[in-house]
Amino acid sequence: MPSLDSSKRSPVNPNVAALLTWLVPGAGHFLLGHMRLAVAAFVVIQGLYVAGLALTGGAFLDLLAPEIRGPFAGALTPEAGNVGAFFLHVRQIDFSDLSPAPFGPQLYLGLALTSTSGILNLILASRAHFDARAQAGSVIEGAAIHPAAAVLFGWLIPGAGHVSQGRVARGLFCFLLITGMFVLGCLLAEGTNLDRTRHFYYWAGQTMLGPMAFVAEFFSGHPAMEVRPRYSDAGVMLASVAGVLNVLLLLDVYGFSDSKLFGRPLATELKASRRGEPKAS
């Protein structure tokens, strides 16, 4: 949690801090004067990306079918969360030639690492935004867990962000809903949804479920699809929607902690007060 000492206040614009972090991991915190966090974040996030790049040979955009390749094809990938590294990657490697080539055995691990790098950087950018506002304003210490930490927990295990805020029942309910939807999708698609080489963009949705999706992918063993599973389309859709819904839950936990720490009413409390309803205890 940033210090509230007025001598350390910085006029850093929160949007600038978040944008800089998006471009270069840690840059926002560097600007805010949080050097150790900035360096650690840069090393970890860029390290993940470089390791993933080494394992995949940088060829992840080659997973796209030739007819949908284009300058913005990578915009909806989790790697775009680390946009500086992603931009350099695309500038240097882009699409390789269109001739089919076998993917290396480390491809899937590499893809997991580059996508994790992008998602972690987005969470870091959200942290930079909060920290910049906290430096300029007053935060109620201990009122709630840091919003970015709650988001990180919620990404690692769906619902864990709510649990970390003390909203245990809601967290468990979210976990059951999201995990249940993902498992049902995997069962219907017979595990064929868990393969980025087959479902490039739907796989991106699933990455928002965090390590759960990567572990399921690892244990699925990337089965060959000799016969298309009867309900594969429904399965792919359900699993991907589960990931997208987890983003909504992450926004919920961020907003909750943010409001508590700044001592502001939640958006729903504001709406209720406008309607003249009594405030929830």
Partner 1 sequence: MDDLGLHIALFLLSAMVIVAVTCMYTEAEDGKAIRLFPRRYATFVLASAAIVVVMIVVQHTLASVH
**Contacts with partner 1, residue ranges (CB under 8 A):** 167, 169-170, 173-174, 177-178, 180-181, 184, 188, 231, 234, 237-238, 241-242, 245, 248-249, 251-252, 256, 266, 268-269, 280
Q: What is the DSSP string of the chain?
A: -----GGG-----HHHHHHHHHHSTTHHHHHHT-HHHHHHHHHHHHHHHHHHHHHHTT-GGGGS-GGG-STTTTTTSGGGGSHHHHHHHHHHT-S--SS--PPPTTHHHHHHHHHHHHHHHHHHHHHHHHHHHHHHS---TTSS--HHHHHHHHHHSTTHHHHHTT-HHHHHHHHHHHHHHHHHHHHHHTTTTS-TTT-HHHHHHHGGGTHHHHHHHHHHT----SS--TTHHHHHHHHHHHHHHHHHHHHHHHHHHHHHHHTPPPHHHHHHHHTTPPPP-
CB of 31 to partner 1, least distance (A): 31
Nearer Cβ to partner 1, position 8 or 230?
Answer: 230
Nearer to partner 1, 45 or 242 (CB): 242
Tokens at 147, concatenated:
């919003």
Least separation in angstroms between CB 57 and partner 1: 37
Nearer to partner 1, 173 or 201 (CB): 173
Q: Which is nearer to partner 1, 155 or 256 (CB)?
A: 256
Which residue's CB is nearer to partner 1, number 28 or number 158?
158
Report the nearest approach of partner 1 to the CB of residue 140 (Å): 17
Min separation Cβ 153 and partner 1, Å:
16
* Choice between 8 and 271, CB closer to partner 1: 271
